[in-house]
Amino acid sequence: MSNNSQNDLGVTETKVVHHPQEVDDAAADAKDNLGVIGIDEFRNLKRTLSMLGIVVVSFDLTNSWIGIATSLAIAIAPGGTVTLLYGVILVSVTFLTNGATLAELASVYPTAGGQYHFTSILAPSSILLAVVIQFTEDYTPETWHYFLLYQAINIMVLLYNVYLIKKTTWIYDIGFFWTLAFFVIITLTCVAISSPKQSSSSVWTIFENNSGWSDGISFLTGTSTPQYMFVGIDASLHLAEECLDAARIVPKAVMSVVGIGFVTAFAYAIAVSYSLNDLATIILTKTGFPTYELWIQATRSEAAATVFMAALMVAMPIRLNAMQQTTSRLTWALARDDALILSTYLSRVHPDLNVPVQALLFNAAVVLLTGCLYMASTTAFNAFIATCDILQQISFGIPAALLLYQRRPEHLLPRARSFRLPKALGYVANSACVLWSLITTVFYLFPAIRPVTTSNMNYAVVVIGIMCIFGLLNWFFHARNAYHGPRIEY
């Protein structure tokens, strides 16, 4: 016997009444190990990802040490190596709490919607051109050069995700072992060859504050690089509906990627901190890619540094493939719940390709338009990109705050879940997640240096405001009447 209702959280519920033995049998046979809560999600994607498979995809997207490498200057400019090293430690601790919060929720609600569903349920190209610049003295990169490379990569990743992703999942295995192999090679090479090396006192204790802000603010704004090393940590959540035994595997995948990310990023950060010789040259390098200059200094060889850059160029398309794949699943999940304009179109899964083609096309179109923004204003484009750290952390903080508000009740976090924190530790993890969300939302909106001018102003707050306007328009013209929250069956 069943009946439908809408609870005070705005979630459509389908209540099914069983005899006790039927409940036990159903729980034993449930694919997603949802305990007393199951999810009616119209799952049209085939489940093929194993534990290793989902960890590999998630790490290929996150690739923490590459995140450090590609955004190095943001950390070392305001505080030197002190900001980089202690920032990695601080952010890794906060992401343990982020990961634990997400893992608990994923063990109960393993859906492609990820944080969006958690909240609904709980609520009351520059790399290639850098090499060209290094070896071609008279080459001056134009904005349209970056634009064309950007769009070419966007189209390549789109086509791969539409036609090949289901046939070549092994590409993520290659990416995983490729990046780990070059992590070891680059880290050991920097340590072994660099000369002279920085002293331990300068690496660990000298805070070089050139930002114009106080030391505390300078340090916190500089942690955006360590924060960036965990961008995409939620990838496994959005692939949950393509994962075997998702309620058990996804939480483990989240925590595994946090652990692997910390070990690789911290080891790499230590290696490069001892290897850099001329900080000013690294930050102001003509190539526009500070890590390239750092590798040249560390290895004392342009050829070796270029090989490292080539390895990075191999890894990045795989990372972008994973990013396009996981973000399309989030778009698809929103559309499936009728939360977006064009939901009927965006929620479709191609019967033969077994991918949400329309969601992939939509996301690629957004990326294309964002690239057009770069042609109009690099400042506006950079402001758009700068929101990724802030918005991701907010998406973690909201469900954590709602868990605290609801006092972590058993009807939302059943005892039978596969990933379960002790009660006190759960409160600590959720509280830390919320606190860090508040800190990053404030300080990542600060301009990097003072005095503040129109050219160095941080316009991320403007971009977030525009995103909110689009969200409100979507709500008033569509979701207000069509969206009723995720469908929960229990």
Determine if residue 15 is left, alpha or beta; phi over 0 gives left, psi from -120 to 50 gives alpha, anything else beta.
beta
Residue 193's pLDDT is what?
87
Q: Is 33's pLDDT higher than 60?
A: no
Instruction: Determine phi and psi for 38, rounding to 5 degrees.
Output: -120, 165
Are 229 and 455 spatial neighbours (Cβ–Cβ below 8 Å)? no
* CA dihedral for 85, 86, 91, 96, sign (positive or negative): positive
Residue 38 is given by DSSP the state E
CA distances from 75 to 112, 277, 290 (A): 33, 16, 11
- What pLDDT is attached to residue 351? 86
Cα separation, 379 vs 398, in Å, equals: 29
**Which pLDDT score, from 0 to 100, does residue 379 have?**
76
In a domain, 11, yes or no: no
Whose CA is closest to 278, among 299, 293, 300? 293
What is the percent of the chain where pLDDT is above 90? 11
What's the CA gap between 356 and 290, in Å, rounded?
Answer: 38
90 Ramachandran zone, left/alpha/beta (phi>0; psi -120 to 50): alpha
pLDDT in tens, 434-472: 999 999 999 988 888 888 888 778 888 888 999 999 999
Residue 73 has pLDDT above 60, yes or no: yes
pLDDT at 13 over 50: no
The pLDDT of residue 451: 86
- In a domain, residue 18? The reply is no
Residues 327, 333, 339: CA angle, nearest 5 degrees: 110
Please report whether residue 31 resides in a domain. Answer: no
Residue 78 vs residues 217, 238, 290, 379, 444: alpha-carbon distances, Å: 9, 35, 14, 20, 13
The dihedral built from the CA positions of residue 370, 328, 465 and 392, taken in this order, carries a sign that is negative
On whether residue 69 sits in a domain, the answer given is: yes
Residue 110 has pLDDT above 50, yes or no: yes
Q: What are the pLDDT digits (tens) for 200-215?
A: 888 898 888 877 888 8
Report pLDDT for 171. Answer: 87
Q: What is the CA radius of gyration of the chain?
A: 23
Poorest-confidence range of 92-101, 221-230, 278-287, 323-332? Answer: 278-287
Q: How many domains are there within the chain? A: 1
- Residue scoring higher pLDDT (300 or 438): 438
User: What does the DSSP 8-state code read for residue 449?
Assistant: S
Query: Number of helices (H) and strands (E), helices first, in the chain?
Result: 23, 4
pLDDT digits (tens, 9 = 90+) for 155-209: 888 998 999 888 887 888 888 899 899 899 999 998 888 888 888 888 898 888 8
Residue 137 or 170, more confident: 170
Contacts of 190 by beta carbon, 8 Å cutoff, 6+ apart: 271, 272, 274, 275, 295, 298, 299
Q: Which of 9, 1, 144, 26 is nearest to 416 (CA)?
A: 26
pLDDT of residue 447: 86
Going by the DSSP 8-state scheme, the letter that residue 215 receives in this structure is: H
> What's the token pair of residue 20?
């006790």
**Which range marks the domain in which residue 453 is found?**
45-482
**What are the φ and ψ backbone dihedral angles of 421, each rounded to 5 degrees?**
-85, 145
Residue 354 lies in a domain: yes
pLDDT confidence of 3, banded at 50, 70, 90? very low
pLDDT at residue 377 in the model: 78
In the predicted model, is pLDDT for residue 317 greater than 50? yes
The reported pLDDT for the residue numbered 138 is: 63
Query: CA 62, CA 60: separation in Å to the nearest integer?
Result: 6
pLDDT reading at 258 higher than 70: yes
Task: Tell me the CATH number at 368.
Answer: 1.20.1740.10
pLDDT exceeds cutoff 60 at 30? no
> Residue holding tokens 């199951």?
38
Q: Which of 228-242, 255-269, 300-314 has the lowest mean pLDDT?
A: 228-242
The strand ranges marked E within 116-240 are none
Residue 37 lies in a domain: no
Q: Which residue has the tokens 């994973």?
A: 322
253 occurs within a structural domain: yes
Residue whose pair of structure tokens reads 């002190």 in the numeric block: 82
Phi, psi (5° rounding) for residue 487?
-90, 115
The pLDDT > 70 percentage for the chain reads: 82
Considering the domain boundaries, does residue 25 fall inside one? no
69 or 341: whose pLDDT is higher?
Answer: 341
